[in-house]
Amino acid sequence: MTTTDTTPTARRPRTRYDERMYTLMNRREGVELYATAGRRRAVVIAHVLLTAASLAALFSAFATATVWLSFVPLMLLLPWCIATGVINAATRGLLELRTRVLDERQLAERDRVRALAHRLTTYVLLCAVAGGIVVGELGGLTAGGVVLPVLISAFAVHWLMPMWVAGMTAQDEPADETDA
């Protein structure tokens, strides 16, 4: 399914999947959840905390052989998914939509967000390595006991950082002229 608009600045969805995702990411229900910068930041912080709590519960479950802790991420999955949806709605699917669906401004914003996110991830990884070395030296732990949690955490941060940065830097939408 193709569109008839051929102007270079008007990129439109070209497949049913693209149209469905574009429609889903641009729905207006729940706009109150991300209408202001403070609310968007609160959702991103909640998402970061839910991710950290899930990882901490998994690491603790493996380290202490406490089975019930491995179920904590399952309990946190629903609020984590809701927070993910709110961030995606706030950014209008900036990181989820295909390139051909986005216009030039959105493509530039996505590139900016990804560059900033990966720069932040580099700093997080540097701190994780330094922290692993310090914990290993001061705590007397071997590197093997610290490596797996650091690698899993690095993967999670690398995977989620662009979404967190996009949610934190999303701009307020212009007010409708009819609302005045």
Q: What percent of the chain has pLDDT over 90?
A: 28
pLDDT at 45: 96
Per-residue pLDDT of 64-105, as tens digits, reads 888 999 999 999 999 999 999 999 999 988 888 888 888 899
What value, to the nearest 5°, has the Cα angle with vertex 78 and ends 124 and 33?
Answer: 80
pLDDT at 10: 53
Whole-prediction pTM: 0.72
pLDDT of 53 strictly over 70: yes
Extents of the domains making up the chain: 16-172
Per-residue pLDDT of 123-169, as tens digits, reads 888 887 777 777 777 777 666 666 767 778 888 888 888 999 988 98
Average pLDDT of the residues of the chain: 83
pLDDT at 7: 45
pLDDT at 50: 97
pLDDT at 174: 74
Closest-CA residue to 93 (of 23, 38, 44, 155)? 23
pLDDT of 178 strictly over 80: no
pLDDT of 4 strictly over 70: no
